[in-house]
Structure 1
Amino acid sequence: MILCIRLAGSGAAEAPPSPSALPALLGLAEDISPVVQALPPDAALLDVRGARRYFGQDATGIAAVLRVRALAHLGAGCAIGVAGTPMLARMAARAAVPGTTCAVADDERAVREFLAPRAVGALPGIGAATARTLRSYGLDTVGRTAAVPLSTLQRIAGVRAGRELYEKARGIDRTKVVPDAAARSVAAERGFPRDELDHDLHRRALLSITEELGTLMRGTDQVCRSLTLTARYADRSATSRTRALREPTAHSAALAAAVYRIHESLGLQRARVRAFAVRAEGLTPAGRAARQLTFDPVDERARRIEEVADRARARFGPRAIVPGTLSRSAA
C-alpha cells in the first residue's frame, strides 16, 4: 500500500510551509519506510508494503503513527491518503482534512466508489481545457468518464491523452514511488486568503515564488532546466503545465519571466485561483551548465544586485531584501 502525507498549512487561507518543512517530513517518513518520494512543497509518498510486518499494523495504522510523529516532531497536523497506487493515494490525501486519514481499499469496487463522484478535473494531469471539453460532452465526473469506451475518449481528447484518461478514470496507475526524487527538483507554493481573480495578485504571488526558488538554488549552487506551474482552483481541481527553459538558470528575473509566460498560457482571466505552486526541475550544479553570454548591461547589473541581495539575506534573513512590488503588496 501507498501513503501520501500532506502537511497542513499549505491551504489558501494558511501560510505556505517553510523551506525546511519538507526535508523534516522526509526524515520522519524515512523512519517508517526507505521507499520515500518527495512531492514538493509539502507532501511525500511512502511505499509501506515492507513496513507493515515490522510495525505489526496495516497501512492505516502506520498512517496514524506517522501523523502522531509529525505532530510531535514538527508541530504540524497532516492529512494522509492510503491507497494501492500513488495516484489514488495523492487524491485521497487531497480529500482528507488535516488530522485525518482517507483510505481507499485496494479492490476494484472500492476504487470505483471513491473515483465515481469526483469531478473529472480532479484526476492528475487533466487540465482545465480538457476538463471543459469533457464537460461539454456531459462527462463532468470520473464515473461518467469511466463508462465511456476508449475509442470515444480518444476521439474527444486525442489518442494518447484519451488512453491516459481512460486508465486514470478506472484507477489504473502504472507509476511507482521513486526514492530520492527530491534531489532533482525544488518547489514553493503561495495560497491566497480567498479565491483570487485579480491578475496582478497572481503575478505578485508568482514573483514571490520565483524569488524564493532562485534564492534556494543559488544558495546550493544549482540551476534548473525546466519549470512546472500548478494552479489550484476554488473547486479543488488543478492545472499543471511544464516548460523547458532556454538555458539552465537560477536567475530570479529569468525564472519569473518564464513563469509569467506559463501563467499567460493558462488563460486564467476568469478563474478563481486558490493557490499557485512552482517546481524547478532538472536541477544540476551551476558549474556544469553553460550560459549564453550577453552584452545587456541591464541584465548584468541585475545579476550583480542579485548577488549582493543574496549575501544580505544570508546574513540578515530572507526578508532583508525583497522586490519593490512585493514590498508594496505587503504594506
Structure 2
Amino acid sequence: MSTTDRYIAHLHLHGRLTEDRYEEVLDLLAGITPKVAAIPPNAVQLDLTGALRYFDREPYEVLQLARLRIAALYGIDTSAGLGPNRMIAAMAAATAPPGRTVHVSSRPDAAAQWLRLRPVAALPGVGKATATTLARYGLHTIGQIADLPPATLQRILGAGPARALADRACGIDINPVTPHAHAERLTADHILERDCLDPRQHHAAVLALAEQIGIRLRDDHRITSALTLTVRYADRSHSTRSRRLPEPTAHSPALAATALGMLNSLGLQRARVRAYALRAEQLDDEDTAYHQMLLDPADERARAAEAAADRARRRFGHDAVKPGTLANHPAHATTPDRP
C-alpha cells in the first residue's frame, strides 16, 4: 500500500432505520475511524486510510470488520463499495447486492478501467437531460467520455461541465470525507468468537473497552461525563445500563470503575454473552475538565504513567503499551473476523 493512497468506503444500511439507530451506527463507525460522513437516511462514508495502522489490516478487512460490527450489534445488513475516492466508493456500493462488497483497487488507472464500460448516467451529476444530449452524439459509456478530446466535449456541454465530467470519467475525485461535526458520543465494542459464560471474561472484556475509550478520548483531547454499557446475548436480546461519572474524565481507571459497576449490576452469572459495547456520552473538550484534588500520590503517579503510555502509543503504535491484565485479551487489540 502506498502512503499516498486513500481508501474510502461507502456503506448502504438495509432495512428500516430510526433516527436514533442511524446515530448509533454512526457512533459505532466513529470507533473505527473519526472520518465518518453521514449520508441520510441510510448511507454513510468512511475514510479508512488512517485506521489501517491502528487495526494492522488491509482496507477490505477493516471494512468487513465495520460491517460485522453493524450486523452483530444491531442486526443491520449492509452492502458496500471500497475505492480510492468518494465517487468510486459510492458507485461501487451502488452495484453491490445486499451482504456484499465491491472493491475497486487503488492501483493506478484501476478506477478508470472499472468505469469504462459503465453507462454515462452512472456518473454523479449526469442527469437524464445530460445523458440524452451525450447519447445524440453516440456517447453511451464512461469510457467513450474518457477517450473524447476535451475540445469536443466542451463543444457539446460547455467548458465547466465538460471539465467536471471528464475528470469523473477518468475516476478523479479529490473531495475528502468530512465529518459534519464533532462526535456527540464515542463507542467501543467487542464481538466474541463464541458465546461466553465466564464472569472473568466478562470482566476482562469490559475493562478492555474502558481502556479503549480512555485512549481515544485522550487522543481527541476530549472528556466524557457518562457511560452506557450494552451486553448482547446469544438469543439477540440485550441489557443496557447507563451511569454518570463522578466527574468528567478521560482517565481509564475512572472509566473502568464505572463500567465494571454497570457490569456487576447486570448480575450476568450464567448468561450466554455474544457482544459488549461501551459508549461514552456527553463529550466535551478536555480544557473544560476539572479534577478533584485527592492529595493522593498514587493517583498522580497513575495519571503520569497513563500520559507516558499514550506518548509511547502515538510514537510506536497502538500495541506498544498494554495494561498487564489485558496483555492477552483480544478486546484490547481488534475484534475477531467472524462471530
Q: Normalization by structure 2: what TM-score?
A: 0.50
> Could you tell me which amino acid in structure 1 is paired with residue 11 of structure 2?
I
> Could you tell me which amino acid in structure 1 is paired with residue 77 of structure 2?
G
**1:128 aligned residue:** 128
**1:86 aligned residue:** 86
1:78-117 equivalences under 5 Å are: 78-117=78-117
Aligned: 1:4 with 2:28: no
Superposition misfits of 4+ residues, deviation over 3 angstroms: none
What CA deviation, in whole Å up to 9, does each residue of 1:204-242 have, x standing for no partner?
Answer: xxxxxxxxxxxxxxxxxxxxxxxxxxxxxxxxxxxxxxx
What CA deviation, in whole Å up to 9, does each residue of 1:76-104 have, x standing for no partner?
Answer: 11011111101111111111111111111
> Could you tell me which amino acid in structure 1 is paired with residue 13 of structure 2?
L
> Could you tell me which amino acid in structure 1 is paired with residue 168 of structure 2?
K
Question: Residue 166 of structure 2 aligns to a residue in which SS?
Answer: helix
> Could you tell me which amino acid in structure 1 is paired with residue 75 of structure 2?
G
What CA deviation, in whole Å up to 9, does each residue of 1:183-222 have, x standing for no partner?
Answer: 9xxxxxxxxxxxxxxxxxxxxxxxxxxxxxxxxxxxxxxx
Query: Is the contact between residue 3 and residue 48 of structure 1 (CA under 8 Å) also seen in structure 2?
Result: yes
Following the alignment from structure 2 to structure 1, what is the Cα–Cα distance between the partners of residues 75 and 69? 9
Following the alignment from structure 2 to structure 1, what is the Cα–Cα distance between the partners of residues 147 and 118? 14
Query: Is the contact between residue 22 and residue 43 of structure 1 (CA under 8 Å) also seen in structure 2?
Result: no
Query: Is the contact between residue 39 and residue 182 of structure 1 (CA under 8 Å) also seen in structure 2?
Result: no
Following the alignment from structure 1 to structure 2, what is the Cα–Cα distance between the partners of residues 70 and 110? 29
How far apart are residue 181 of structure 1 and its match?
Answer: 6.0
Following the alignment from structure 2 to structure 1, what is the Cα–Cα distance between the partners of residues 136 and 108? 28
Unaligned runs of 5+ in 2: 1-6, 184-339
**2:18 aligned residue:** 18
Closer/same/farther in 2, CA of residues 181 and 140 from structure 1, 3 Å limit: farther
1:91-240 equivalences under 5 Å are: 91-180=91-180
Question: Residue 70 of structure 2 aligns to a residue in which SS?
Answer: helix
How far apart are residue 21 of structure 1 and its match?
Answer: 3.8
Equivalent pairs, count: 177
> Could you tell me which amino acid in structure 2 is paired with residue 7 of structure 1?
L
Following the alignment from structure 1 to structure 2, what is the Cα–Cα distance between the partners of residues 32 and 82? 15
Question: Residue 87 of structure 2 aligns to a residue in which SS?
Answer: helix
How far apart are residue 129 of structure 1 and its match?
Answer: 0.4
Following the alignment from structure 2 to structure 1, what is the Cα–Cα distance between the partners of residues 95 and 25? 20
Following the alignment from structure 2 to structure 1, what is the Cα–Cα distance between the partners of residues 33 and 74? 18
How far apart are residue 154 of structure 1 and its match?
Answer: 1.2
Q: Computing the radius of gyration over CA atoms, which structure comes out larger, 1 or 2?
A: 2
How far apart are residue 180 of structure 1 and its match?
Answer: 1.8
**1:187 aligned residue:** none
Following the alignment from structure 2 to structure 1, what is the Cα–Cα distance between the partners of residues 119 and 88? 14
Query: Is the contact between residue 81 and residue 93 of structure 1 (CA under 8 Å) also seen in structure 2?
Result: yes
How far apart are residue 182 of structure 1 and its match?
Answer: 10
Identity of aligned residues (%): 40
1:276-295 equivalences under 5 Å are: none
What CA deviation, in whole Å up to 9, does each residue of 1:148-187 have, x standing for no partner?
Answer: 011111111111111100000000112111112699xxxx
**1:49 aligned residue:** 49
Unaligned runs of 5+ in 1: 10-15, 184-331
Following the alignment from structure 1 to structure 2, what is the Cα–Cα distance between the partners of residues 142 and 39? 25
Query: Is the contact between residue 37 and residue 182 of structure 1 (CA under 8 Å) also seen in structure 2?
Result: no
